[in-house]
Structure 1
Amino acid sequence: MKLKALLFLSFSHLVLIAQNDKELLWEEHFNGDSLSSLRWNYETGDGCPDLCGWGNNERQIYNKDYVTVKDGFLMITADKVGDTYYSGKINTRGKAEFRYGTIEIRAKVPKGKGLWPALWMLGSNIAEAGWPGAGEIDIMEYVGRQPDTVHTSLHTPESHGNTVNTKTTVVPGLARDFHTYGVSWNSERIIFFIDSREVYTFSPEPKNEDTYPFKHPFYFLINMAVGGNFGGPEVDDSIFPQQFIVDYIKVYR
């Protein structure tokens, strides 16, 4: 028992040292009363004519009015006005892009069938490489038709769309409170975490552009879709409006 206790204390001490030694590269706490235009871009519309439904048969129209900042929180609201669904989507393309490191995002998902909030990243070379050539890291996806379930996925040229590079994790009472979602990422592997607990590791062999297009900078995207191929064909209109809330984002070397 004493040996186990010593080992546990030693391990805890090492973990604490490792955490304290992390170099904070970038952080976003959503201070003030509006989104920083120096850090974020709005994405608007329905994706047409090039990518109607944003490639997923999503129902919402993105509008910047559905993205707000208040009391240190980012709030993306999904609502139905008449026969039209509205929501918000933002990204850091060209303003905050990172290659490798540890990323932590604290967020609270909403409840309701048909909602599809996500915290994710795309390769900054997407204009040249296209999708899925640029790669996609889905730090957290949640669909209201599967309560208490978090999806963590990667899309590559070898496997994308209904990708095999994915893991679902059940978190009881997920929508009741904030949780921390993150990845630890380098040239060899990507590890996904929920509330500091490792839930999925991706490290394919071989690592080439088809299997591991994750060796260049990526940027953040935050959005909440309505319906769609993944969100589900059924939307419960009685739930609106609903908010997807993000507390902070931190990026460590």
Structure 2
Amino acid sequence: MSSRLSSRRTRAGAVLSAALVLGSMLVGTALSTQASAAPAPDVGIAATTFADEFNGPAGTPVDGSKWNHEIGDNVNNHERQYSTNRTSNASLDGQGNLVITARRENPGNYNCWYGRCEYTSARLNTIGKFSQTYGRFETRLKMSHGQGMWPAFWMMGTTGGTWPNNGEIDIMENVGFEPNTVHGTIHGPGYSGSGGIGAAYTGPRFADGFHTFTLDWSPNLLIWYVDGQEYQRRTPADLGGRTWVFNDRPFFIILNLAVGGYWPGDPNASTPFPNNLTVDYVRVTNTPGGGGGGGGQITGLAGKCVDVAGASNANGTPVQIYDCNGSNAQRWTRSGNQLQALGKCLDAAGGGTANGTLVQLWDCNGSGAQQWAISGANDIVNIQANKCLDVTGNNSANGTRLQIWECTGGANQKWNAAV
């Protein structure tokens, strides 16, 4: 979240979806031609190293075992907010979200670099509580909006000296005058501030709904995604001989909502206050997903791909098999125990656990309906149901629906997952 025009600022210290049960749910002849059921395979659970789902009563402060509050103003970026630890600026909403709220106010008579502060907001970090080298870092959130607003989900290196030598990775930044655009950027020695190296992704108006922002980080490679779609990757070759500071160094997480600054400019009369950044979750796993290619294919019966029907990301869209074609509807990434495509999760409809429960695409919500493990025997198992992902009726035709069924070891339950 570096200033685009100034030197770096100093640091202050560092449901279950009401899931749609499709009326077209197949029964009887739609069931697999299973023989006697075999025991479910022994499956491992992917290593989630950090997760905050922000579940708790409305008005609850953030979990102090995971997050620190940074307090104060920010002169080097010329941001205009005073960051506080008040629940009126950062608290849970009782619906599984963290809400960071920027307000036009000064209840504590705070002083900022420009005089008496005009705004309050919040900035959270995981210094001393969580840091990691490599992996997948992800958030799902609904953006703030309006001129002068500057939300960000980003990371800083814990070693290597002062900024920018320690490195910075901006997973997601948005400035209010670009409501349809987010930015991913790296900063290091010789490429910091306005000289940071990055790219922009243009999509929908991000304040109109929740979207998922992901970074896959491995040695000599950083990949950014929005809603499961890769839009940028960076390697040492992009630095023109300058130093790559993103190997073998832990980074901590920062989540904040700034008001004003060199890059976004100041709010104006059109900017709404209070102004919210609503965060569904922050999750980190210890290995990057996506197979290094913006999502990998999952192939099964007759060599066909797990496919989202019509490439639609609407809740309840059927998941099927189809000829592999390399489209985004067939690109799956792994986030913890979730399998994601088009920014949403593979989901057992209605949270069902019975044989024949159909599989669909749905907003990621962390429920058992969306928890999957991939075994060494190439089974994909719904952990809650202890049942396997299954091609209905052992039918290899394009458009055949997927369901969950007792694990039998049959060909219609075997998958090669490049995720």
Q: Normalised by the size of structure 2, how large is the TM-score? A: 0.51
State the match for 2:262 in structure 1: 229
Q: Secondary structure at the match of 1:162?
A: helix
Q: Aligned partners of 1:236 and 1:182: how far apart in 2?
A: 33
The counterpart of 1:69, out of the listed 80, 92, 97, is 92
Which structure has the greater CA radius of gyration? Answer: 2
Q: In the TM superposition, what whole-angstrom CA distance separates every residue of 1:13-42 from its partner, at most 9, and x where no partner exists?
A: xxxxxxx97432221111222211111100
Matched with 1:152 is 184
3-state SS, counterpart of residue 75 of structure 1: strand
* 2:50 counterpart of 1:26: yes
Determine if contact 2:185/2:197 at 8 Å carries over to the other structure: yes
Moved over 6 A (4+): 206-209
The answer to whether the Cα contact below 8 Å between 1:157 and 1:209 also exists between their aligned partners in 2 is no
Q: Which residue is equivalent to 1:60?
A: 81
* Aligned residues of 2:148 and 2:271 also touching (Cα < 8 A): no
The residue identity in structure 1 corresponding to 2:223 is I
Counterpart contact for 2:52–2:283, Cα < 8 Å:
yes
The answer on whether the counterparts of 2:101 and 2:122 sit within 8 Å (CA) in structure 1 is: yes
Q: Corresponding residue for 1:39?
A: 66
What's the secondary structure of 2:156's corresponding residue?
A: strand
What amino acid does structure 2 have at the position aligned with 1:111? Answer: H
CA distance in 2, matches of 1:132, 1:180: 27
Aligned to 1:239: 272
Is the CA contact 1:121–1:137 (under 8 Å) kept in the aligned structure 2? yes
Matches within 5 A, 1:1-253: 22-32=46-56, 33-47=60-74, 53=75, 55-65=76-86, 66-71=89-94, 72-81=96-105, 84-125=118-159, 129-205=161-237, 210-215=242-247, 216-236=249-269, 238-253=271-286
Deviations 1:20-74 (A, max 9, x none): 9743222111122221111110001114xxxxx2x21111110111111222211
User: SS of 2:194's equivalent?
Assistant: coil
Query: Is the 8 Å Cα contact of residues 138 and 154 (structure 1) preserved in structure 2?
Result: yes
Structure 2 residue aligned with 1:7: none
Are the structure 2 counterparts of residues 160 and 137 from structure 1 closer, same or farther at C-alpha, using a change threshold of 3 Å?
Answer: same
Residue identity (%): 35
3-state SS of 2:263 partner: helix
The alpha carbon displacement at 1:205 in A equals 2.8
RMSD: 2.1
SS, match of residue 229 in structure 1: coil
Specify the SS of the correspondent of 2:237: coil
Using the TM superposition, name which of 207-216 and 230-239 deviates more: 207-216
The 3-state SS of whatever aligns with 2:127 is coil
Give, in whole Å, the separation in 2 of the partners of 1:44 and 1:242: 19
Deviates more, 1:61-70 or 1:189-198: 61-70
> Normalized against structure 1, the TM-score is what?
0.83
Deviations 1:152-204 (A, max 9, x none): 11111121101341111111222100000011001110000100100100002
Closer/same/farther in 2, CA of residues 177 and 131 from structure 1, 3 Å limit: same
CA–CA separation in structure 1 for the residues paired with 2:274 and 2:238: 46
* Equivalent position amino acid for 2:187 in 1: H
- Asked if the contact 1:34/1:70 (under 8 Å) is kept, the reply is no
Task: Name structure 1 gaps, 5 residues minimum.
Answer: 1-19, 48-52
Report if the CA contact (8 A) 2:220-2:246 is conserved. Answer: no
Task: Provide, for residues 123-167 of structure 1, a one-character-per-residue CA deviation record: whole Å limited to 9, x for no partner.
Answer: 112xx6101011001000000011111011111112110134111
Question: Where do 5+ consecutive residues of structure 2 fail to align?
Answer: 1-43, 107-116, 287-419
What's the CA shift for 1:249? Answer: 1.2
Distance 1:190 1:116 in 2: 23
**Hey, what's the Cα distance between the residues in 2 that align with 1:218 and 1:189?**
15
Q: Which moved more, 1:173-182 or 1:158-167?
A: 158-167
1: CA distance between counterparts of 2:199 and 2:184? 5
Contact 1:41–1:93 (Cα < 8 Å) also in 2: yes
AA of the residue aligned to 2:103? D
Q: Deviations over 1:190-241 (max 9, x none)?
A: 0001001001000023889943111200000011111101121453465111
Identify which of structures 1 and 2 has the higher relative contact order when contacts are C-alpha pairs closer than 8 Å and 6+ apart. Answer: 1
Query: 2: distance between equivalents of 1:202 and 1:151?
Result: 13
